Amino acid sequence: MANELRPCPCDIGDRFDYGGRGQEVQVEHIKAYVCKPPASTDKAVIVIHDIFGWQLPNTRYIADMLATNGYVATCPDFFVGQEAWKLSNDWATFNDWLKTRDAGKIDKEVDVILKYLREQCGAKKIGVVGFCWGGAAVQHLMLKNPNLKTGVSLYGVIKFFEDRSTLLHPTFFIFAGKDEIIPLEQVTVLEQKLKQNCKVHYEVKIYPGQTHGFVHRKREDINPQDKPYIEEARKDMINWLNKYL
């Protein structure tokens, strides 16, 4: 049932402006975008950005959406002041750029944000969602961080952590059926390894016809035929968080 504290997310994507409901704060050495719900809560979600960084309006929009659904949502700068990738950059330099931004080396920053959420925001149950680079970071955190309750990895680059599958927490994996970055063969292998090794609840879901980045695509970039899948994935993400936080 919908109520004012946790409104029904059935019209997610159409009600709110992008990245405008929260504020930027400084948390020790990290800048972060923080958006809080109207009513107080002890539940929080860390939103991990993609290669385009913490200021991308699409990602802040997701943080706003999570706050509207009753969570303290924060999107920290996990590049810690290093420049985000720009579409105008030369893709031939991407691998060198990526070497200095390892999705598996964000533990120090996550600990700082966890402390902030607990001490400054009153959070007791904290989950994490992430997109692309951030989706891979979610996989990393679900494998090793005991202080998180759950995670949603959205088109996380599997090859970063493909040799490990013993998750500590319930994890939901969202993939696109026509993702040129993450072939479906990789998703199949991930499912097989999870089935063999994982002792916690997980789910892997592929959304047909969708391409990389579909869940946090801006409203003006959504084709009518894609909208049902985008809305379904956003609701699935919210429902998973509701279940485990």
Asked if residue 5 belongs to a domain, the reply is no
Selecting among 49, 212, 216, 236, the annotated active-site residue is: 212
Q: Which domain holds residue 93?
A: 23-244
What is the pLDDT at residue 52? 94
Give the residue carrying structure tokens 């029904």: 8
What is the CATH number for 42? 3.40.50.1820
- What is the model's pLDDT at position 21? 81
33 is written with which tokens? 């975008």
N-to-C CA span, the chain: 17
Q: Confirm whether 7 is domain-assigned.
A: no
Active site residue 198: no
Within-domain flag for 33: yes
* 31 part of a folded domain: yes
The C-alpha angle 53, 102, 214, rounded to 5 degrees, equals 45
Active site residue 201: no
The first and second tokens of residue 165, run together, are: 């599958």
pLDDT at position 59: 93
Catalytic residue among 132, 140, 169, 236: 132
Which of 50, 64, 77, 179 is the catalytic position?
179
Considering the domain boundaries, does residue 173 fall inside one?
yes
How would you write the pLDDT of the chain (245 residues) with one tens digit per residue?
222 333 333 333 444 444 578 999 999 999 999 999 989 999 999 999 999 999 998 899 999 999 999 999 999 999 999 999 998 899 999 999 999 999 999 999 999 999 999 999 999 999 999 999 999 999 999 999 999 999 999 999 887 676 777 899 999 999 999 999 999 999 999 999 999 989 999 999 999 999 999 999 877 677 889 999 999 999 999 999 999 99
Phi, psi of 116 (to 5 degrees): -60, -45
**Tokens 């959420």 map to which residue?**
117
Tell me whether residue 16 is in a domain.
no
Torsion of CA 75, 81, 87, 92, to 10 degrees: -130
Q: Please, are residues 190 and 169 in contact by the beta-carbon 8 Å criterion?
A: no
What confidence score (pLDDT) does residue 134 get?
Answer: 97
Q: What is the pLDDT of residue 19?
A: 53
Q: Is 212 a catalytic residue?
A: yes
pLDDT score recorded for residue 222: 79
How far from the centroid of its chain's Cα atoms is residue 142's Cα? 12
Report pLDDT for 3. 29
Cα separation, 209 vs 5, whole angstroms: 34
- In-domain check, residue 14: no
The count of domains in the chain is 1
In Å, what is the CA distance from 224 to each residue of 11, 121, 220, 221, 231?
Answer: 14, 38, 10, 10, 11
**Which residue is it, tokens 């969570």?**
71
Report if residue 10 sits inside a domain: no
Which two tokens mark 190?
A: 């991930």
Question: Which residue pairs from 121-125 have beta carbons closer than 8 angstroms and sit at least 24 positions apart in sequence?
Answer: 121/34, 121/36, 121/44, 121/72, 122/40, 122/41, 122/42, 123/41, 123/42, 123/43, 123/44, 123/72, 124/42, 124/43, 125/42, 125/43, 125/44, 125/149, 125/245
pTM of the model: 0.91
Rounded to the nearest angstrom, the gap between the alpha carbon of residue 51 and the centroid of all alpha carbons in its chain is 12
